Amino acid sequence: MFCPILSFLNKIMSISRKNVFIYLVCFLSFLFWIIINTLFPLRIFEERAQYFMDSKFWIKTPIVTQKNQDLKKTTPLNLDLFYEAYKQASENYYGFDTLSEKDLVSGMIKGFVDSFWDKHSEYFNIDETKKFNEVLSGDFEGIGAVIEKNDFWVVIERIIAGSPAKEAGLISGDIITKANNEELKDLSLTDAVSKIRGKADTTVSLEVIRAGQKEIMTKVVTRKKIDIPSVDGKMIDGTSIGYIALSIFGEKTADDFNKTLTDLENQKATGLIIDLRDNGGGYLETAVSILSNFVEKDKVLVTTKEKNPFLNRSYFSYGNTGKSLPIVVLINENSASASEITAGALKDYNLAILVGQKSYGKGSVQQPFNLSDGSEMKITVAKWYTPKDYGIDKIGINPDIEVKFEPEDYDKKYDRQLEEAKKILFQFIKTGDKQKTVDGYLKNKEVLLKKSSETASGSLGK
């Protein structure tokens, strides 16, 4: 037994010190190689897994970018042409010496992100980053409208429920031409927003063009602190129907929704209307939490697919309340992102009837990267899919029953979509069957349209 060991020791003793050193170096190198190729990749995986445990929707856990030195090593672009252009500009542009390095770098990054041709990928400077993050925290001052800017106009994309803009009668699609008599069309989006927003209790006079109206309207709006009421719930008067409107999927929305739902259930609600109109989305985890009230435990709610397929992930319901209320979900062309995740899952599992108009079609996921100066770059990192693996990006979700506003509804402040949703929900409660309710409503509507057409024809005949 000891012979092989003694023989091995004799050989070791006979080897010169120089050779022993060489063998030792080889052995340590081999050991280091094993450590690098086993333990280190496991650590990378562990950190990535933890990142996904903490991840959000289009606002994921922010990742701080690497230092410039590391980026230079990995940048695949040939920037010779850029430096050539920079040299020409710095030597020949008349006002170059008056430009700040900070503004130049910020503009370069913005142009880089704009070159993606993805309107959901954006670069925010320090001030824009602050304002962007204020929206989801629900703490800012202004008129309570989300605007966008094209080459010619400043357009209202959506109105926050209960906001000064809503009270002043502004609606989605309105074009704002002036703010306090200042033209907005030649301003950047940031500058236009700064003209419209302002301190609470101050006023702003807006000149507005509305589709279908010939004259320019003037709306004087009193700004106020916008404490976004992400959840507004109540029992509809004289009915047993509960109503919950969501304006955004923010940090506190899930908790507020769960409390409101419990309150409505305690008031013996027999059906529920969830209003997602003009809700531009927010946190994915908020949508998952809300859906978990209705979808059976461990059912897939949404799946995200990334550039690297190994990083694809499904989000599951973590247990419903056991209550099976008939649900109608209101959506429109401004229902996007987390709103569509919620509507899509409820539709796929036949838990709700969707009423209104086709949704926006934002089936992509954005992640913010915090840059070292406090600015932020939000870029698309994934696409998401409904439980039945439907991709809705740039397509939207069709309602089960389409209901459009008539021109006179705006003047009369008549919410036609909500009123039809009530009728549909009453039938849903009565039948207990989604498809039977949808078919019955559409058939009845067809009959009414036929009668209306016959009446009109008869009147013309007379």
- Catalytic residue (choose from 56, 60, 195, 362): 362
Given 121, 247, 366, 375, the catalytic residue: 366
> Rounded to 5 degrees, what are φ and ψ at 402?
-85, 130
Q: How many CB atoms lie within 10 A of CB 133?
A: 16
DSSP bridge pairs for 178? 183, 207
Task: Give catalytic status of residue 367 as yes or no.
Answer: no
Q: CA–CA separation, 217 vs 209, rounded Å?
A: 6
Inter-residue contact 339 to 283 (CB < 8 Å): no
230 within 8 A of 258, measured Cβ to Cβ: no
| H or E segment to which residue 305 belongs | strand 300-306
What are the helix and strand counts (H, E) for the chain? 14, 20
> Strand 182-183 and strand 175-179: pairing?
antiparallel
Q: Both ends of the chain: CA-CA distance in Å?
A: 120
Q: Which residues contact 241 (CB under 8 A, 6 or more apart)?
A: 235, 269, 270, 271, 272, 273, 422, 425, 426
Q: What is the DSSP string of 58-108?
A: SSPPPEEPPPHHHHHHH-----HHHHHHHHHHHHH-TTGGGS-HHHHHHHH
Cβ-Cβ contacts under 8 Å for 134 (sequence gap 6 or more): 140
Rg (CA), the chain: 30
57 SS3 class: coil
Type of residue at 216 = I
Active-site residue, selected from the candidate residues 337, 364, 367, 427: 337
Active site residue 366: yes
- Which residues are identified as catalytic? 337, 362, 366
